[in-house]
C-alpha cells in the first residue's frame, strides 16, 4: 500500500466505504461504474468505462487488497472502494518460460491447478486464487501436458466459498 494512502487513512479514519463503482473483468481489466451504469444492471452485464490511464491503473494495483470477509477492494486514500469481480480476485498471466504473474504484475508460485465444468483453468498460488487469462491457454495446456500441473475438477459455483472471496460486495450488507 502506498504511504500516501496510509497517511490519508490515518488523517480521515471514518470515510464511508464505496460499493458498486469499480469492477474487475475476467481478463484483468478495471471498469469504472457510475450511477447510470449501476442502474443499468450488475457487473459484468453493465461494465462501465474501461480504465486506460496507466498511472491510475498502477495506483489501483498497488493498493488492491482483501478484507477479512473475502471482499476485494482498492484503497483510494481514506476510502475503501469494493470491487465487483466478474470471475476471481486474481487474473493470471502465464509466460512461455513457465512463470506466472497476476494482473497487477506480481509474481506468483503455483500450488494447485483446477478446471471447471466449462474448461476454464484456475490457479491457487502463494498470492491467492485466480483465473488464467484466456490468451494464455496454450501455456496452461503445456504445463498440464508436461505434468507440471495436475488439474483438479471443480464446479465454478463452488469456487468463491472454497477460496474465500466475494464476487459482489455490493450485493451484501455494508461492512
Write down the domain spans for the chain. Answer: 3-87+164-171, 90-155
How far apart, in whole angstroms, are the C-alpha atoms of residue 38 and residue 132?
27
Q: What is the CATH number of domain 3-87+164-171?
A: 3.10.540.10
Q: What is residue 171's predicted lDDT score, i.e. its pLDDT? A: 86
Distance CA 169, CA 84 (A): 7
Give the pLDDT score at 9. Answer: 61
Question: pLDDT tens across 13-34, in order?
Answer: 777 899 999 999 999 999 999 9
- pLDDT, residue 7, reads 76
Q: What is the pLDDT of residue 174?
A: 67
User: 22 with 81: CB under 8 angstroms?
Assistant: yes
Q: Who contacts 146 (Cβ-Cβ below 8 Å, separation ≥6)?
A: none
**Residue 4 confidence (pLDDT) above 80:** no
* Beta strands 129-132; 79-85: pairing state: unpaired
Q: What is the pTM of this model?
A: 0.91
Q: Which three cell numbers stand for residue 82?
A: 469494493
Q: Is the pLDDT of residue 8 over 70?
A: no
The pLDDT value recorded for residue 161 is 97
Grade residue 131 by pLDDT with cuts at 50, 70 and 90: very high
Q: What is the mean pLDDT of the chain?
A: 94
Q: Is the pLDDT of residue 102 over 90?
A: yes
Residue 156 pLDDT exceeds 90: yes
Residue from 65, 105, 70, 102 nearest 81 by CA: 65
Give the mean model confidence (pLDDT) for residues 77-102. Answer: 96
Question: Which whole number is the average pLDDT over 155-175?
Answer: 91
- The pLDDT assigned to 12 comes to 62
Q: Give residue 1's pLDDT.
A: 74
Amino acid at each position: 500500500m502506498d504511504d500516501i494512502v496510509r497517511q490519508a487513512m490515518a488523517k480521515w479514519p471514518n470515510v464511508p466505504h464505496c460499493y458498486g463503482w469499480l469492477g474487475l473483468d475476467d481478463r484483468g481489466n478495471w471498469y469504472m461504474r457510475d450511477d447510470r451504469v449501476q442502474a443499468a444492471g450488475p457487473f459484468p452485464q453493465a461494465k462501465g468505462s474501461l480504465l486506460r490511464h496507466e498511472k491510475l491503473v498502477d495506483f489501483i494495483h498497488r493498493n488492491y487488497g482483501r478484507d477479512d470477509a473475502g471482499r476485494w477492494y482498492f484503497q483510494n486514500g481514506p476510502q475503501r472502494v469494493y470491487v465487483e469481480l466478474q470471475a476471481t480476485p486474481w487474473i493470471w498471466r502465464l509466460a512461455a518460460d513457465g512463470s506466472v504473474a497476476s494482473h497487477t504484475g506480481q509474481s506468483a508460485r503455483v500450488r494447485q491447478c483446477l478446471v471447471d465444468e466449462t474448461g476454464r483453468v484456475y490457479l491457487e498460488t502463494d498470492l491467492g486464487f485466480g483465473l488464467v487469462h484466456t490468451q494464455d491457454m496454450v501455456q496452461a495446456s503445456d504445463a498440464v501436458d508436461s505434468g507440471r500441473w495436475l488439474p483438479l475438477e471443480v464446479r465454478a459455483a463452488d469456487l468463491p466459498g472454497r477460496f474465500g472471496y466475494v464476487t459482489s460486495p455490493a450485493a451484501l450488507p455494508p461492512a
